[in-house]
Amino acid sequence: MRLHEYQAKRILSQFGVPVPRGQVATSVSEVRQIAERLGTRVVLKAQVLTGGRGRGGGIRLANDVSEAERIASQMFGMEVNGYIASKLLVDEAVEIEQEVYLAITVNGLGYGYHSPGQPAIVASARGGFEISDLAQGAPEEAYVREIDPLLGLREYQARELAYNVGLGREQSQQFASAAMGLWNAFWAEDATLVEANPLVVCPNGELVSLNARMTIDDDALFRHPELSDLRDESQEAATERLARRHGIHYVRLGGKVGCLSNGAGLAMATMDLLRLHGVRAGSFIDIGIGAQTAKVIVGLRLARNGSASAVLVNIFGGLTRCDEVARGILAAYEELDLSIPLVVRLEGTNKEAGMALLAQNPGRHGQARLYTAEPLADAVQQVAAVMQANGGQ
């Protein structure tokens, strides 16, 4: 779960990472009050859960209170990369002498042949450094130190990094203290990524983190009910919310065939195979292992969502039972208005029972067209044929 910048800054400052003075606002009048209180030039920052805000017009400078009000009225409700800004962070504007990158993540690099699994702290003297730059090996401008989780980050590691990125002696101590704060927040809050980027040196010599990013491990949220409350559901599409609440992995895609599978690998392989047959998937839906009827129904609701003109269900059940999936499909016909063609491929545990259930119910549902096919290659060809009959994509 990715946090908003203002949420990340609040948490990081509790762990001793210096951040600019500022506050989040939900209305123009709140922006005015905050700007008046700060009494400086301010930066208005759209709180949207996406990168590239600056390029998208989501970060703007205001010289005085009335300008802040004017800009804020343009920014509330604006769309950045498809995300709506309903909150603005109002921060004091800071002069920048020098800027560096600092982050802590897991698996920055894989060494040798051993599967990675250690946290690492990453620093760079290059502004605009991206953590993903590490994915293809360490570029020259990145300095990476692995952190022994049993020891935690040590101050000497942070001081070394400070020298690596060219900070002076005075700033190095501040940098080390910010790095320790970053590590403590990372570990205590079950983060998978914390970023102070850019971490800047101001003209008075003070170090401050102008931007902050924090991603919390979804699988650890059970330990952090207070963090679960920070989830901003307005940043999720209704379909994404529905999927998350039912433990379904869902990604909306550009095509017209809803694509439902058990398991992420199988779902991706299904999408890839569709594309080879000239058909683009409209959704990626992974119902996970051992799904029951109710989850299958929600999966199908997501699959037929939007502009889908056919649905492909591809199941290879281990713990997932094909008869349970078949029951879900039949129940979905009762509960949903499933008027588009459905191609079903069932393999694995209780396949025969599942196929028998589907065979007992042919054409019972008006316009509904239910096709069963196997193996997967034939199911995909069936989908391609259905799409062609529909007049292509």
Partner 1 sequence: MSILVDQQTRLLVQGIAAPEGLTYVEHMIAAGSPIVAGVTFGQGGTWCGSMPVFDTVREAVQATDANAAVICVRGSEAAEAIFEAADARLTLIVCVPAEVPVRDMVLVKAHLKGTPVRLIGPGSSGVCSPGKCNVGIIPGYIVRSGSVGIVSRSGSLAYEVTWLLTQAGLGQSTVLSIGGGMIVGSGFAEILAMFEDDPATEEVVLIGEIGGQEEEMAARFVADRMTKPVVALITGQTAPPGRQMGHAAAVIEELAGTAQHKTEMLQKAGVRVARYADELPTLLEERM
* Residues whose CB is less than 8 angstroms from the CB of residue 28 and which lie 6 or more positions away in sequence, other chains included: 69, 72, 73, 76
Q: Which is nearer to partner 1, 40 or 292 (CB)?
A: 292
Maximal C-alpha separation, the chain: 78
Q: Which is nearer to partner 1, 40 or 187 (CB)?
A: 187
Q: Where in the sequence numbering do the catalytic residues fall? A: 101, 195
Q: Rounded to whole angstroms, how far apart are CA atoms 178 and 165? A: 14
Q: In whole angstroms, how close is the CB of 89 to partner 1 at the nearest point? A: 22
Binding site for partner 1 (CB under 8 A): 106-107, 109-110, 112-119, 130-133, 135-136, 148-150, 187, 190, 192, 217-220, 222-223, 249, 251, 253, 261-269, 271-276, 280-281, 284, 286, 289-290, 316-320, 347-349, 375-377
Q: Rounded to whole angstroms, how far apart are CA atoms 312 and 314? A: 6
b/e per residue, 94-108, with b = 16+ CB within 10 A? beeebbbbbbbbbeb
Nearest by Cα to 314 from 386, 378, 261: 261
Residue 316 belongs to what H/E stretch? strand 310-317
Q: Which is nearer to partner 1, 57 or 288 (CB)?
A: 288
Q: Which is nearer to partner 1, 97 or 272 (CB)?
A: 272
Q: In whole angstroms, how close is the CB of 102 to partner 1 at the nearest point? A: 18
> What CA–CA distances, in Å, run from 385 to 260, 278, 315, 332?
18, 11, 20, 23
Q: Which is nearer to partner 1, 25 or 298 (CB)?
A: 298
Q: Rounded to whole angstroms, how far apart are CA atoms 285 and 300? A: 9
Q: Which is nearer to partner 1, 132 or 204 (CB)?
A: 132
Q: How many CB atoms lie within 10 A of CB 183?
A: 21
Q: What share of the chain is helix, strand, coil (3-state, %, to 5)?
A: 40, 25, 40
Q: How many CB atoms lie within 10 A of CB 1?
A: 19
Torsion from C-alpha of 283, 288, 292, 296, nearest 10 degrees: 0
Q: How many CB atoms lie within 10 A of CB 180?
A: 19
Q: In whole angstroms, how close is the CB of 252 to partner 1 at the nearest point? A: 9
Q: In whole angstroms, how close is the CB of 130 to partner 1 at the nearest point? A: 7
Q: In whole angstroms, how close is the CB of 218 to partner 1 at the nearest point? A: 8
Q: In whole angstroms, how close is the CB of 380 to partner 1 at the nearest point? A: 9
